[in-house]
Amino acid sequence: MLEVKNLHKEFVNKIAVNDISFTVNKGEIFGLLGPNGAGKTTTIRMILNIILPDSGVVLFDGKPFTEETKNLVGYLPEERGLYQKNKLFDTITYFGSLKNLKISEIKNSANYWLKKFELAGNEGRKIEELSKGNQQKVQFIISVLHNPDMIILDEPFSGFDPVNQDLLKEILIELKNNGKTIIFSTHQMEQVEKLCDNICLINNGEIILSGKLTEIKKNYGNNSIIIEFSGDGSFIKDFKGIKHCNIFENYAEIIVNNDFSVKSFLDEANKKIDIRKFEITEPSLHSIFIEKVGNASKVKEVIS
């Protein structure tokens, strides 16, 4: 569906995207992950032909991405905004017509989506009269109005309350089941874990991890331990064989290496805390993200 080959983009004094390649298959949800400023948005802009790469190509169905391809793609930018003073339906009509939709097609599609997002009846209202969440829904509608083959969503969940997040998740799964390809970029690893088939983790403009989500987790092995406890868990971080840990008030997630001994840990822990739950599992994407990105920045610190 989409092949990104050796994309490279430099801005003044800064390499924004350094030789990035990945492939997105038809009908999958692809997660483009990375910390702020990693180069996600720049990558998306280059995919969409909004800015030109210094080198590299983007292939859509095997052909170079051209202006005509834009009609087949929907895009939800990260920072949200619409024409505040204009009416909802007029706004939708404008963006629909820019995707070469006929007015009757726009009407049908808009009715379908407005109903789905419980916005029917607001067609004549000005955008500024809508709540922020509803404005965001309108923006999402604009990105899917023309029934695109591929939808690129930059942080689609941010700004939505949990109810609407679930609604959006359902819609994304529905779109996927209808054969649409979805690329979404986010920091929210939870959503990625629930939705994505393949991921690509970018940091400082370079890919540091990519592949099938299940395989990535498998490769990390069962080296992750989740403990629910009460008491003072501060001893955990100094325990032998701990590679990385996240300790909260009565919950800890740790990643261990080969030096770690479950038995001696439990012996020690029994003296210090009350364990309610102890689970050896594959690591969460969150931990992988922290570890990968965290390591990278540590390495960078050492170099500098």
Interface contacts to other proteins, rule CB under 8 A: 45, 48-51, 67, 70-71, 73, 75, 77-86, 90, 94-95, 97-100, 139, 142-143
Token digits of residue 274: 């009350």
Choose between 100 and 108: whose C-beta lies nearer to other proteins: 100
Choose between 12 and 302: whose C-beta lies nearer to other proteins: 12
Q: What is the spatial distance between Cα 87 and Cα 69, in angstroms, rounded to a whole number?
A: 28
Work out how close the CB of 107 gets to other proteins at its nearest, in angstroms, rounded to a whole number: 16
Strands 242-247, 251-256: pairing is antiparallel
Q: For residue 264, what is the DSSP state?
A: H
Work out how close the CB of 79 gets to other proteins at its nearest, in angstroms, rounded to a whole number: 4
Choose between 105 and 282: whose C-beta lies nearer to other proteins: 105
Work out how close the CB of 42 gets to other proteins at its nearest, in angstroms, rounded to a whole number: 10
Choose between 81 and 221: whose C-beta lies nearer to other proteins: 81
Work out how close the CB of 143 gets to other proteins at its nearest, in angstroms, rounded to a whole number: 8
Choose between 100 and 281: whose C-beta lies nearer to other proteins: 100
CA distances (Å), 271 to each of 58, 164, 254, in order? Answer: 58, 45, 19
What values do phi and psi take at 278, rounded to 5?
A: -140, 115
Work out how close the CB of 45 gets to other proteins at its nearest, in angstroms, rounded to a whole number: 7
- The count of other CB atoms within 10 Å of the CB of residue 62 is 7
- Axis crossing angle, helix 162-177 with helix 132-144, rounded to the nearest 10: 10
Choose between 140 and 157: whose C-beta lies nearer to other proteins: 140
The region that residue 93 occupies, defined by phi over 0 for left and psi between -120 and 50 for alpha, beta otherwise, is alpha
| Long-range contacts of residues 212-220, Cβ cutoff 8 Å, at least 24 apart | 213/31, 213/285, 216/288, 217/282, 217/283, 217/285, 217/288, 218/282, 220/255, 220/282, 220/283, 220/288
**Amino acid, single-letter form, for residue 10:** E
Work out how close the CB of 66 gets to other proteins at its nearest, in angstroms, rounded to a whole number: 10
Work out how close the CB of 211 gets to other proteins at its nearest, in angstroms, rounded to a whole number: 27
Choose between 19 and 78: whose C-beta lies nearer to other proteins: 78
Q: What is the spatial distance between Cα 293 and Cα 287, in angstroms, rounded to a whole number?
A: 10
Q: What is the spatial distance between Cα 101 and Cα 72, in angstroms, rounded to a whole number?
A: 11
